[in-house]
Amino acid sequence: MLARHTGSRVHVAHASTAGTVEVLRWAKSLGIQVTAEVTPHHLLLTTDLLGGYDPTFKVNPPLRPAEDVEALRDALADGTIDAVATDHAPHARHDKEHAFVDAAFGMLGLETALGVVATVMVSSGRMGWGDVARVMSTRPAEIAGLAGRGNQGHGRPVAVGEPANLTLVDPAASVVVDRDDSASLSRNNPWHGRTLTAAVRATFLRGTPTVLDGQLVEIGATTEGSLT
């Protein structure tokens, strides 16, 4: 309501319930300047995983029932939710390996984000790869004010003269997540043992490779094939 009466913009982080989706649809129907994001884990994981009180699945907002997950998927597909944001929260073992009530909130999500979105949204036919680029690149850059900044711009189209901020994806890949193979030093990985669709093969930041063949490139390393 503050945004409605002041004409300001509001961004909703970590949308996780069907009720939030209803409010977002209502606000957008009135022309209120509201944008929203959802995490990969809220698009797939449900309260069914909480029965064993595994602190790996302790997160804030908490995991929700299946009906909320379905509402979030619909909202991402139809544009009510604008973007996917990981809420990536690595923790040391001494922060997570406690009784559920004492463990820290949060889970890993950065490396697996694309695979989760592809598994949930692309494989199901709810979204195409162009839509994935929109919710994971174009819209996040626009919302954060990072689009259209010359060579520093993100979420820009692939075209001559545009900054080469690129992610190369193998859409046919199938990956079994192993927390011990993660580039993160943390192991609070809720996707361990799951099979996810698609894999990031390479990333480029302003033409410089940062990931090649699925592996991080050492900062300052000399590589062939940098884009200009």
Number of independent structural domains in the chain: 1
CATH number at residue 63: 3.20.20.140
211 falls within a domain? no
Which phi and psi (to 5°) does residue 88 adopt? Answer: -55, 120
Q: What is the pLDDT of residue 228?
A: 41
Report d(CA 82, CA 84) in Å as an integer. 7
pLDDT of residue 162: 80
pLDDT one digit per residue (tens) for the chain, 228 residues: 788 888 899 999 999 999 999 999 999 999 999 999 999 999 999 999 999 999 999 999 999 999 999 999 999 999 999 999 999 999 999 999 999 999 999 999 999 999 999 999 999 999 999 999 999 999 999 999 988 766 667 888 888 888 788 999 999 999 999 999 988 889 999 999 999 999 999 999 988 999 999 888 987 665 555 554
Q: Is residue 107 part of a domain?
A: yes
Strands 10-12 and 34-38: parallel
* 185 domain-assigned: no
Asked whether residue 75 is domain-assigned, the answer is yes
**215 part of a folded domain:** no
Q: What is the pLDDT of residue 4?
A: 85
Kindly state whether residue 67 falls inside one of the protein's structural domains: yes
Is residue 127 included in any domain, yes or no?
yes
Integer CA distances (angstroms), 80 to 36, 39, 59, in order: 8, 14, 23
Which pLDDT score is estimated for 192?
A: 97
Cα–Cα distance for residue pair 225/228, rounded to 1 Å:
9
Identify whether 56 is part of a domain.
yes
Mean pLDDT, the chain, integer: 92
Parallel, antiparallel, or unpaired for β 166-176 and 195-205?
antiparallel
In terms of Cβ atoms closer than 10 Å to its own Cβ (0-12, 13-18, 19+), residue 199 is middle
Element (H, E) at 94: helix 93-96
Instruction: Write out pLDDT tens, residues 119-138.
Output: 999 999 999 999 999 999 99
Q: List, as one string, the DSSP characters of 122-181.
A: ITTTS--HHHHHIIIIIHHHHHHT-TT-GGG--S--S-TTS---EEEEEEEEEEE--GGG
Closest CA relative to residue 33, chosen from 2, 76, 3? 3
Range of the domain at 22: 2-158
Taking Cα atoms as reference points, which of 194, 170, 57 lies closest to residue 116? 194
Read off the tokens for 65: 């029932």
The answer to whether the beta carbons of residues 10 and 57 sit under 8 Å apart is: no
Among 74, 87, 178, 180, which one carries the catalytic annotation? 87
Assess contact for 60 and 106: CB atoms under 8 A: yes
Is 87 considered catalytic here?
Answer: yes
Which two tokens mark 125? Answer: 């036919």
